[in-house]
Amino acid sequence: MLNLLFLFAYKRLILQLRRIKMSQFMNEIQSVTDLTTKAAVIEGIIAILLSFVLSLVITYLYRKTHKNGRYSQSFVHTIIIMSVVVAVIMIVIGNNIAVAFGLVGAFSIIRFRSAMSDPKDIAFIFFGMAAGIACGLGFYLLAVMFTIILSILIYILYLLDYGGLKSTYKSLRITIPENMHYENVFDEIFEKYLDYYQLKQVETTNLGTMYQLNYLIAKKEGIPDKELIDAIRAKNANLKVSIGMVN
């Protein structure tokens, strides 16, 4: 009888010890999990704040170097928002391939309908996204270096006016009869007097009896406005021609 009681007490003691060890083990796991979660939260906050700061630098550069086109405050805000959003997306994805494919499928339904007025705007969007990706992946130093170096290079290109024309841009409005085929009709004149020309808009005027062609032009050096206007009037039946500054 004593042996049975002793054996029963021994087994209960073993079970209690196992429960204590299991409880300690679970507490240690919970502690490690809490530390990991806290570290992830801190890294996420750093990535979000850093991507926001870097996007501010990028948009400030955009504002300083923007020219020849319509300026949009909403576009500046878009660059900042996209940079932060991309950083958060990269944090969420991490090393999870399934989540990455899921996000690709989710974002594939998005369509952007608005056209960019300046191709350089697209480059600034990718600039902000690249900074956000680097921050989201934890490459903070690389993100800072990339933003600073590329910003300096872009500003140098802006100061040197690399690839630009010496002539200043102006707007040219030509009124023509509705029966005139305006495609390429003025090309010979433009080649003679202009360094650059681009048809920006065609609209009807005078109750639909005439067309108005709106061009963005850059004259050759030494060409007066009157000489260009007189050459165009000889082609457009002496209708209205106007040259103005670009807004």
Residue 144: pLDDT above 90?
yes
Stretch among 21-25, 64-68, 154-158 having the lowest mean pLDDT: 21-25
**Alpha carbon of 103 to those of 34, 87, 193: distances in Å?**
27, 14, 53
Kind and range of the H or E run holding 200: strand 194-205
Task: Find which of 48-62, 199-213, 230-244 is predicted with most confidence, using mean pLDDT.
Answer: 48-62
pTM above 0.85, yes or no: no
**What pLDDT band is residue 15 in, cutting at 50, 70 and 90?**
low
Residue 142: pLDDT above 90?
yes
For residue 122 the two structure tokens come to 């697209």
Residue 36: per-residue pLDDT? 55
Crossing angle between the packed helical segments 2-65 and 140-160, to the nearest 10 degrees? 10
For residue 109 the two structure tokens come to 């339904």
- The single-letter DSSP state of residue 68 is S
Residue 143: per-residue pLDDT? 93
Residue 2: per-residue pLDDT? 47
Residue 141: per-residue pLDDT? 94
DSSP, collapsed to helix, strand or coil, labels residue 161 as: coil
- The single-letter DSSP state of residue 164 is -
In terms of Cα–Cα distance, which of 135, 140, 133, 122 is closest to 100? 133
Residue with tokens 């050459």: 231
- Amino acid identity for residue 245 in this structure: M
Residue 35: per-residue pLDDT? 47
d(CA 140, CA 39): 15
Q: Report yes or no: 55 and 83 within 8 Å, Cβ to Cβ.
A: yes
